[in-house]
Amino acid sequence: MNSQIKAAVTGVGAYVPDKVLTNADFEKMVDTSDEWITQRTGIKERHVVAESDSTASMSTEAGRRACRAAGIDPSELDLIICGTITPETLCPSSACYIQRDLGATDAAAFDLSAACSGFVYGVSIASRFIEAGQFSKCLIIGAETLTRFTDYDDRGSCILFGDGAGAIVLQPTTDPTKGVQYTVMHADGNGWDYIWLPAGGAKLPASQQTVTDHLHYLKMRGRDVYKFAIEKMQWLLADCMTACNLSADDIDLVVPHQVNIRIIKSAAEKLNFPLEKVYVNIDRYGNTSAASIPIALDEAVRAGRIGDGSMVLLIAFGAGLTWAGAVVRL
């Protein structure tokens, strides 16, 4: 391992479908209201994939945009990781379709299943490959087509989810002040049923009964997820700051998983961290799981909120249970 080498973010890109589902649309579908959804989650609208699109096609476009921003051709990539829990197919991986469609013929490609933490897990893993000198042009994607696994009869969960994809390119740098400075990853399988998709896997293969029983949709213990998310968000923020000896003044932006505005606010308040340094776009996208951080990162870069030299913290938690953080200087 060459500790002189770090993984620098050289390009960021995202793709979000045009179609929008507003809270008013949900008022016509289930027993809910714009007021309830806004107050409890902060969500106003979310994007829904077009019929002709899916996880791989959204990822391919996000990846193409990230490569363009990095000034490289996708054919130069040597690694593609796609963080997703809504893969194109169970077999092969979404990453292999993306590799084909990007023409990245020399790239190794695999999916990473860590739910909402998938993108940050991917950043951590790709960084280690770069530091070890094994790969030098890595595309890390977070992408979800959650609306195809959402039970629109379940008002407790259906109002939360949206679709989209985001991606970054990581490349080696010898500048020690740049790139991925620190990562942390954890899991606790005891919380397997906080958020899960019961059928379609080896444990419970698809059958007429599983379809009838709505077992191909995400199930969620909302209150338990809420408590877990608040605790882990605080823990991750504190851990990343301590590990890199950072104060709030040293940090330009925290990009948290867009889970719920109340969770984000509560964690920031408890740690006395200024909310204006925490990126929030859940109002426009809902919860897009692994895609939420790279979509937000792309928005923040394009809006000029962060750029060359910015200190950014990425914080995620989700099904598994999983949680992960990364400290990155752009």
Interacting residues toward ligand COA by CB under 6 A: 32, 36, 40-41, 116, 155-156, 159-160, 195, 220, 222-223, 225-226, 229, 259-260, 287, 318
User: Cα(139)–Cα(144) distance, rounded to whole angstroms?
Assistant: 16
**Assign residue 289 a region: left if phi > 0, alpha if psi is -120 to 50, beta otherwise?**
left
Catalytic site includes residue 260: no
User: Cα(259)–Cα(278) distance, rounded to whole angstroms?
Assistant: 13
- Angle value at C-alpha 170, between 181 and 1, nearest 5 degrees: 60
Question: 67, 82, 96, 116: which one is catalytic?
Answer: 116
Task: Give the nearest distance from C-beta 71 to ligand COA in angstroms.
Answer: 34
Give exposure, 122-157, as e/b (b: 16+ Cβ within 10 Å). bbbbbbebbbeeebbbbbbbbbbbbbeebbeeeeeb
Question: 140 or 264: whose CB is closer to ligand COA?
Answer: 264
User: Cα(175)–Cα(201) distance, rounded to whole angstroms?
Assistant: 44
- Cα dist from 108 to 99, 111, 139, 140, 213, whole Å: 8, 11, 10, 12, 38
Question: 67, 240, 257, 260: which one is catalytic?
Answer: 257
Task: Give the nearest distance from C-beta 41 to ligand COA in angstroms.
Answer: 5
Question: 20 or 244: whose CB is closer to ligand COA?
Answer: 20
Phi/psi at 105 (5° precision): -65, -20
Task: Give the nearest distance from C-beta 103 to ligand COA in angstroms.
Answer: 33
Catalytic site includes residue 190: no
Task: Give the nearest distance from C-beta 262 to ligand COA in angstroms.
Answer: 7
Question: 170 or 229: whose CB is closer to ligand COA?
Answer: 229
Sign of the torsion formed by the C-alpha atoms of 111, 116, 121 and 127:
positive
Question: 297 or 319: whose CB is closer to ligand COA?
Answer: 319
Task: Give the nearest distance from C-beta 301 to ligand COA in angstroms.
Answer: 23
Name the residues annotated as catalytic.
116, 257, 287
